[in-house]
């Protein structure tokens, strides 16, 4: 057994920087962005599964066990990166050019 103490911690906890009042709008926008993106995905997923089930195709288990190929994994990675960048822009208030 080691002589090293794990409890109580030997280091002081880091103090979290408080949000400044001017940060609140950016945090709020980031939360709204996440909620919009999440709802769009949940809505489309539910509709897709319902349409397929109505046609006699239940894909719920297939979705749970599917392993994406390299092409789909690359598409998902790009979409994930775009979402992360959008949220970071919301948090920082620094936006790129409009597309």
Q: What percent of the chain has pLDDT over 90?
A: 41
Tokens of 71: 């092409």
**pLDDT tens digits, one per residue of 55-71:** 999 998 898 899 999 99
Task: For 7, list phi and psi in degrees, rounded to 5.
Answer: -145, 135
Q: Is 90 exposed, middle or buried (0-12, 13-18, 19+ CB in 10 A)?
A: buried
Domain ranges of the chain: 21-92
Q: What secondary structure letter does DSSP report for 4?
A: -
pTM: 0.54
1: pLDDT strictly greater than 60: no
pLDDT tens readout for residues 6-26: 545 555 555 556 667 888 888
**Coil, strand or helix: which one is 12?**
coil
């Amino acid at each position: 057994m080691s002589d090293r103490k794990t409890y109580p911690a030997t280091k002081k906890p880091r103090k979290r920087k408080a949000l400044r009042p001017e940060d609140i709008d950016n945090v709020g926008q980031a939360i709204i962005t996440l909620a919009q993106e999440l709802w769009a995905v949940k809505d489309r997923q539910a509709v897709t599964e319902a349409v397929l089930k109505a046609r006699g195709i239940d894909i719920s288990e297939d979705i749970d066990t599917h392993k994406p190929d390299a092409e789909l994994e690359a598409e998902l990675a790009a979409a994930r990166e775009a979402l992360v960048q959008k949220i970071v822009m919301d948090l920082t208030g620094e936006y790129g050019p409009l597309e």
